Amino acid sequence: MSHILKTSTALIWAAGVLTIASHVTLAQEAQRVRGAIESLSGNTLVVKTREGTEQTVTLKPDWKVRGIKKASVEDIKPGDFVGVASLPKAEGGDGALEVLIFPAAMKGTGEGSRPWDLKPNSTMTNATVAKAVKAVDGHMITLTYQGKEKTISIADDTPIVTFAPADKTDLVAGARVIVMGQKAPDGTVSATNVTVGTNGVVPPM
C-alpha cells in the first residue's frame, strides 16, 4: 500500500510539474499582433502588421470582440484600475506611452508589472491608481500593485483609452486591431479575442 501511495504521489507531482511547464511554454509563446485588418473570412483574420508583414490569425471557437475608445487623462481617478505601458526616463521615473482605463468589473486583471513589446525596454503595469495629480508638463499618477508602488508621468499627448462595446461587424478592412494570441512552433497564431479601435481609434497598447 505504501508503495502504491508513493507511486501515486509521484505521478501527481509529475503531473503538476508538467502542468506548470506547459503554462510557462504558453507564456513564452504569447504573441501580440498589432495592425490593420486586411480581411476576415469565417474564423480566419488577416492583419497587415505594424512591421509591414501579413499575419494570419486563426480565431478559436466562440471568439469574442471588444472595442477601444478614446478617454481623457481627466477620467483617471484614485481607485481606478489601469494598464500603463511606459518607458524609463533619463531624469528618473517612468513616462507613459499609453494608458488603458479598465472598467470597474475588470479591476485586478493581470495585476503587476512586466516587460512589454510596445517599444524596446517598455513595461506594462496593471495597477490601482493611488494618486493622480496635475504636473507642470502633464499629469503624474502613483500606482500600487502587489505591495509595490510606481509613479508614472503622463504627457499631454499620451494616448488614453478605455474599453467600449464592439462586435464582429466592427472588424472591417482597415480597422486597427491588437490581437493577444498564442504562437505555435510552426509559426501559426491563434486567439480567442480581438480588440478593435472604434471610430478610427488605433489601440495604443
Domain boundaries, the chain: 77-158
Kindly state the average pLDDT of the residues 181-194. 93
Q: Is the pLDDT of residue 48 over 60?
A: yes
Whether 82 and 111 have beta carbons less than 8 Å apart is answered as: no
- pTM for the structure as a whole: 0.82
Q: Is the pLDDT of residue 28 over 80?
A: no
Q: Give the pLDDT confidence of 65-111 residue by residue, as tens digits.
A: 999 999 999 999 999 999 999 999 988 889 999 999 999 999 999 99
Q: What is the mean pLDDT of the chain?
A: 87
Q: Which cell numbers hold the place of 146?
A: 502587489
Q: Is the pLDDT of residue 202 over 90?
A: yes
Kindly state the average pLDDT of the residues 29-48. 95
Q: How many angstroms separate the CA atoms of 181 and 192, rounded?
A: 7
Number of helices and strands (H, E) in the chain? 1, 12
Q: How many angstroms separate the CA atoms of 135 and 181, rounded?
A: 37
**92 vs 177, higher pLDDT:** 177
Kindly state the average pLDDT of the residues 136-165. 95
Whether 153 and 89 have beta carbons less than 8 Å apart is answered as: yes
Four-residue CA torsion sign, 110, 197, 157, 79: negative
